[in-house]
Structures are given as C-alpha cells and as structure tokens.
C-alpha cells in the first residue's frame, strides 16, 4: 500500500519549506526532457564527435592509399570514369537521398545530416594540418579505419543524423522494415568493391574491403532499435 507525504498546515516554517521544495521539484520535472529524447546540447556534441571520428578515419585510410565504400566510393569511381570531379559527383549522388530524407524522415534529420556532411568535410580539410602519419601498415589502417568510422557513424545515427547517401537509405529501411542498417551498407559496399577490382590494384581493394567489413559489422552489431531507444 503506497504512502503519500503531506505538507504541514499553513503558517509554520516547515509548511513554507515543504511547499518551496515541492515547487522546485515540480519545476525540475517540467524542465527535464523525456528520458528517450536527447537534448539539443547532446545532439551537438554527438554530431561533433561523430564527424571528427569519421574525418580521422579518412585520414587513416588515405595514408596507405586505400579506398572506401558508400557514396564517397561511388563518387570516386565516377570521377575516374567521367569528367566530373569528386566533389561534384559526391554532391550530385547525394541529392536523391536528401529528397528521400525530407519526404520520409523529416526536416530535422535532413538538416542534421547536411550539417554533418559539412562538418566532416571541414574536418577532413583541416586534419592534415595538425596530424601527420609517418608509418602505418595497410591492414592496420583498414582495421583502424573501420573502428573509428564505425564509432563515428554510430554517434551520428544515435543523434538522428547521418553522412548522407546510403546511410540515409540504410536508416530508412531499418526504421520502416526492420532491415539492419549495417547489412544494407554491407550489400552496397560489396557491389561497389566488385567494380573497384576493375579499376584499382587487387591488394588495395582487398585491404579496403577489410576496412569496410569492420565498419559495417560494428554498425550491424551495435545499432539496433530494440537496444537503443533515445532519439
């Protein structure tokens, strides 16, 4: 049987203290966001950390000359096969996914994802100015890339953002059909690397594929709706 606490009758010091405490408790409850929602500050720090980790992963990947998957990898292949630059190809290939994001996942997700792409691009440009890697084995580079990129993308996903492209499609399929986000990206990367074997040395592609497998396994294992409910 539950017990309730009542303040003393009006007029005494205890009564005043009790009502003051009750007032501030009520204000605290009203000002606290629901447990399953991130605050705006939490979103900002999550997106900053996520984009910084992904930018670091690109720095690691580029040292031994490895390639990557996702839309960035497709844009790289397009730049080799057409007169388009990597930047133009990357932007053009991402546009249909942003349309999907607006229509199916809302403006908040789309704006967060667009901001994430801009931040990551800026970090990638700045990082070589403050970080130089002198020696890195390609296999180790691939594994470290997969780990840092995977953790970075998890941070973005859990704060309602992505780096565009297949990441948007992967999250959409997971939310609407329950299809694992990591598996969607792994299938796309598999097709992409089959094409890459025609364009790059086999050793480079194999090391790069190792990094993609590590990355997507981290996402597939750790990013599940039934285990993480905060939004």
Q: How far is CA 155 from CA 52, 64, 140, in A?
A: 11, 26, 23
CB 147 within 8 A of CB 214: yes
Measured between alpha carbons, how far is residue 102 from residues 38, 78, 112, 114, 172 in Å? Answer: 21, 26, 11, 11, 11
What number is the average pLDDT over the span 129-152? 90
Mean pLDDT lowest among 3-17, 182-196, 207-221: 3-17
DSSP state, 184? H
Q: Give the integer Cα–Cα distance in Å for 121 and 51.
A: 9
State residue 228's pLDDT score. 58
CA dihedral 87, 89, 91, 93 (to 10 degrees): -150
Q: How confident is the model at residue 193 (pLDDT cuts 50, 70, 90)?
A: confident
Q: What is the pLDDT of residue 52?
A: 92
Instruction: Look up the pTM and report it.
Output: 0.70
Instruction: Provide the pLDDT for residue 140.
Output: 94
- Among 164, 154, 158, 160, smallest CA distance to 99 is for 164
Please give the residue that has the higher pLDDT: either 76 or 151. Answer: 151
In this predicted structure, the answer to whether residue 77 has a pLDDT above a threshold of 50 is yes
């Amino acid at each position: 049987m539950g017990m309730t606490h009542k303040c003393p009758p009006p007029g005494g010091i205890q009564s005043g203290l009790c009502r003051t405490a009750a007032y501030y408790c009520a204000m605290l409850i009203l000002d606290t966001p629901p447990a399953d929602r991130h605050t705006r500050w939490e979103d900002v720090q999550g997106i900053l950390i996520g984009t910084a980790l992904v930018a670091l992963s690109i720095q690691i990947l580029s040292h031994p000359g490895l390639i990557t998957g996702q839309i960035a990898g497709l844009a790289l292949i397009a730049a080799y096969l057409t007169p388009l630059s990597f930047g133009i190809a990357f932007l053009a290939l991402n546009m249909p996914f942003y349309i999907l994001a607006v229509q199916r996942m809302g403006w908040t997700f789309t704006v967060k994802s667009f901001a994430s792409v801009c931040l990551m691009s800026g970090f990638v440009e700045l990082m070589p100015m403050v970080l130089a890697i002198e020696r890195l084995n390609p296999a180790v580079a691939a594994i470290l890339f997969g780990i840092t990129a995977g953790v970075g993308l998890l941070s973005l996903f859990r704060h309602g953002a992505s780096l565009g492209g297949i990441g948007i499609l992967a999250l959409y399929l997971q939310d609407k059909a329950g299809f694992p986000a990591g598996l969607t990206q792994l299938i796309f990367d598999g097709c992409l690397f089959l094409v890459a074997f025609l364009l790059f040395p086999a050793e480079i592609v194999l090391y790069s594929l190792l990094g993609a497998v590590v990355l997507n396994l981290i996402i597939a294992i750790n990013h599940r709706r039934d285990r993480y409910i905060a939004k």
